[in-house]
Amino acid sequence: MSDASELPPLDPDVPNPARMYDYYLGGSHNFAADRATAQQVEANVPWVVAAVRANRFFLGRAVRFCVDEGVDQFLDLGSGIPTVGHVHEVAQDAAPLARVAYVDVEPVTVASATAILGGDARTTITAADMRDPDTVFDAPGVRDLLDLSRPVALLTVAVLHYLSDDDDPVALVERYRRRLAPGSMHVLSHVTGDHDPDPIAAAERVYRGTATPLTFRTRQRIEAMLAGTELVVPGMVDASQWRPQDPADAQHRGFWAGVGRIGQYRRL
Ligand SMILES: C[S@@+](CC[C@H](N)C(=O)[O-])C[C@H]1O[C@@H](n2cnc3c(N)ncnc32)[C@H](O)[C@@H]1O
């Protein structure tokens, strides 16, 4: 794990989207300011909790899919708090030797993950900013855990909307994919205002007051983040519609999601 002193300072009075997300999921790793801001968003977007949960269930199904495709190593960028049903649980349930490298920039998330993971030798949490791939790949929790000569599932689930257009998320994810072996996967989800623009615009204003504002993007701009991969069936769909266990659950709820297979890049 990276040195905690490298993390941004923790201020419980400044609402943080990672902890708001934890609140929406029913978790306990959040403070009063997080809850108050999350409730403000909910007042504008009544389906936000359903959307966040649909995203989380998509994550579980996509991890299971990767294991079924023979990929048992995971690089989870913007991993959040690894509570019930998180990546290492789903992956190791399906493949006991699966390895999971979590990466997150938020101090409470990293501290909680450290406590939750305890002595699990096949799961690490690295405190790092995903905008710096060299630092991520060089971190011991990533470098010493993942064998990059074998396929890896790159997870960017509900995180790229924290990056601004100036961060150029399309180019950034390609820098990660280029380091991965053929047969690797890229699992992605991202919030959108495509289905419900007005409440989303209001939510965007609320998020501007948090530590990390959100950028809602259109389907076309999100699909561009998987350009160069082979999109697996059913392509880019609402998170709730990606291979749902119960098709009756599949509704438009606000996250575009897809999985791309990574082919033969000229690797860096
Ligand atoms: C909404 S949570 C998603 C958690 C998990 N991926 C999921 O979908 O259930 C987004 C996470 O991304 C993290 N994050 C935001 N910007 C980041 C960055 N630049 N580098 C690393 N993590 C980041 C936040 O701290 C938060 O924990």
Residue nearest to atom 27 of ligand 1 (CA): 80
Q: What is the CA(93)–ligand 1 centre distance, in A?
A: 23
d(CA 87, CA 76): 8
Per the DSSP assignment, residues forming a β-bridge with 74 are 100, 153
Residues whose beta carbon lies within 6 Å of some atom of ligand 1: 18, 21, 55-56, 59, 77-80, 103-106, 109, 129-131, 157-159, 162, 212
Tell me the pTM: 0.93
SS3 state of residue 262: coil
Residue nearest to atom 14 of ligand 1 (CA): 78
Q: What's the CATH fold of domain 4-262?
A: Rossmann fold (3.40.50)
Tokens at 171, concatenated: 């180019």
Q: What is the CA(113)–ligand 1 centre distance, in A?
A: 13
Whether residue 191 contacts residue 213, with contact meaning beta carbons closer than 8 Å, is answered with no
d(CA 161, CA 104): 14
Which among 100, 159, 175, 189 is the best mutation to test ligand 1's pocket, defined by most ligand atoms within 8 Å of the CB?
159
d(CA 238, CA 190): 10
Given the CA of residue 106, which atom of ligand 1 is nearest to it?
25
d(CA 27, CA 21): 9
d(CA 183, CA 150): 8
Domain regions of the chain by residue span: 4-262
Closest CA to 237 of 197, 188, 168: 188
Residues 6+ apart with CB under 8 A from 154: 75, 77, 173, 176, 177, 180, 184, 185, 186, 187, 262
- pLDDT given at position 3: 45
Which among 20, 76, 105 is the best mutation to test ligand 1's pocket, defined by most ligand atoms within 8 Å of the CB?
105
- pLDDT one digit per residue (tens) for the chain, 268 residues: 444 445 566 777 888 888 888 899 888 888 999 999 999 999 988 888 989 999 999 999 999 999 999 999 999 999 988 776 789 999 999 999 999 999 999 888 888 888 888 888 999 999 999 999 999 999 999 999 999 999 999 999 999 999 999 999 999 999 999 999 999 999 999 999 898 888 788 888 888 877 778 899 999 999 999 999 999 999 999 999 999 887 666 666 789 999 999 986 545 4
Report the phi/psi class of residue 230: left, alpha or beta, with left for phi > 0 and alpha for psi in -120 to 50: beta
